[in-house]
Structure 1
């Protein structure tokens, strides 16, 4: 086992952490203390498992750092799973049984149920990526399809009419019921916040890639920053302020949608 941040041995202070774990409700994972995991099929990759059913999530989130030439060529995903793969930085060839492309920072691929993700770092430096999987919920008359794109080609939209809170959508879930989930980027300019405390059935997994914020999770106000990961369970009250002095407080996050509740 090795650590995500590369720190080993004794520290110069007492043992402490900013991470908070409340299984099934919410979690905040700071980078310090997270480990690298070995998963069959991935070569020359450092992988950290974030949210999972063991935490109370209905999905699994991963951080993936692929060395040049590294990746997963045999295919990731089993029957019934849908996959989303996002490239923070690097040059990566991505493909499934339907489509292929070379993507750079901001690039992504959604692989619907029935296909598997393949990827290879074709660049000359490490590629830093985010990976997600979830069981797809089928409904009669609709199906999802492969989506490949780059979020940098998508315009920011004011979130609920607020000019200092901005959002981008990755998938066409708003207009296509074949999709049962979506990924978004939400960004807060310094001092901006949600318009209200949200309480809903949808779960979120959120990776903060920029800035600093104060997040309320089940009435606990917690400072968070770039590199932190958040899990928000169903009905967990949630909202945030952007508090950084310079960069926008921004994160990429998942949300289940377009389905009724199963009993």
Structure 2
């Protein structure tokens, strides 16, 4: 019977009405079968699927964008909103504030500061992960772009994972984007509880994530919302490395975060 039970679980995702997605006041798991795609103002010939938004209590939005051939996205919806994108597949083009075209293939990223006229286009189609939030610092962030693998690996004392930060660690930027890589069997040493909130997407591999008192098996394509002070912990499982992208508030006093 035990073997039969495992066999049935392998096919549970195909059952009508079944989903691994779940929502709690302090965390959520949003799996690919739960994405709801729709048009969005400012996105021409494109569909978006919001995974996290202020409706859930978050201070930011995290969504996926499916840009079809000859698609375009207007600047962020308000002058105070900053935007970060990671190209998951295909190729996008960004128009910089100086009017130059920046080509963004798969695994490239771009940051658009608040009140920037920079736009996004895709001639052939692209899949994006997008973060948007109201800028809270008092600096002068600038338009940035790059290739994830060109970002240097940073020291992680007491931990085994590899860490990259895609935005400058200065007070001009009020959040950062971390890329975290784990080999199978590696895990977070710290069982984290902190004021920062997160939007995470597992880009490669699989593992298990603890959120509050729940333990969730996760795989590539799954997204997680973590509210402030929820217990969080991750371990990589399987036979291939895992990678996730996660946003984190930085340089802003917790009193005003």
- TM-score, normalised with respect to structure 1: 0.86
Alpha-carbon distance in structure 1 between the residues aligned to 2:78 and 2:220: 32
Alpha-carbon distance in structure 1 between the residues aligned to 2:14 and 2:127: 29
From 209, 214, 218, the equivalent of 2:208 is 214
Call closer, same or farther: CA 1:77–1:117 in 2, change over 3 Å.
farther
Superposed counterparts of 1:126-141, under 5 Å: 126-139=125-138
Write the deviation string for residues 107-155 of structure 1: whole angstroms up to 9, x where unpaired: 11111111144111133xx31111111010133xx32111111112123
Call closer, same or farther: CA 1:32–1:12 in 2, change over 3 Å.
closer
Q: Flag as ranges the 4+ runs of structure 1 deviating above 6 A.
A: none
Q: Is the 8 A contact 1:212 1:226 kept in 2?
A: yes
What is the deviation of 1:187?
Answer: 1.3
The residue that corresponds to 1:66 in the other structure is: 67
Aligned residues: 243
Alpha-carbon distance in structure 1 between the residues aligned to 2:237 and 2:14: 29
Alpha-carbon distance in structure 2 between the residues aligned to 1:100 and 1:158: 34
SS class of match (2:56):
coil
Call closer, same or farther: CA 1:97–1:143 in 2, change over 3 Å.
same
What is the deviation of 1:88?
Answer: 1.5
The residue that corresponds to 1:170 in the other structure is: 166
Alpha-carbon distance in structure 1 between the residues aligned to 2:216 and 2:117: 37
Alpha-carbon distance in structure 2 between the residues aligned to 1:29 and 1:50: 7
Q: Is the 8 A contact 1:206 1:253 kept in 2?
A: yes
Write the deviation string for residues 78-109 of structure 1: whole angstroms up to 9, x where unpaired: 12111111112222111242464111112111
Alpha-carbon distance in structure 1 between the residues aligned to 2:14 and 2:90: 34
Q: Which runs of 5+ in 1 are unaligned?
A: 1-10
Alpha-carbon distance in structure 2 between the residues aligned to 1:32 and 1:249: 20
Call closer, same or farther: CA 1:12–1:83 in 2, change over 3 Å.
closer
- Structure richer in helix, relative to its length: 2
SS class of match (2:40):
coil
Q: Which runs of 5+ in 2 are unaligned?
A: 1-12
- TM-score, normalised with respect to structure 2: 0.88
From 194, 212, 228, the equivalent of 1:234 is 228
Call closer, same or farther: CA 1:116–1:235 in 2, change over 3 Å.
farther
Call closer, same or farther: CA 1:120–1:15 in 2, change over 3 Å.
same
Superposed counterparts of 1:66-215, under 5 Å: 66-72=67-73, 74-98=74-98, 100-123=101-124, 126-139=125-138, 142-162=139-159, 164-173=160-169, 176-215=170-209
Alpha-carbon distance in structure 1 between the residues aligned to 2:101 and 2:118: 10
SS class of match (2:32):
coil
Q: Which is worse superposed, 189-198 or 88-97?
A: 88-97
Alpha-carbon distance in structure 2 between the residues aligned to 1:255 and 1:88: 20
Alpha-carbon distance in structure 2 between the residues aligned to 1:255 and 1:95: 26
Alpha-carbon distance in structure 2 between the residues aligned to 1:227 and 1:103: 21
SS class of match (1:97):
coil
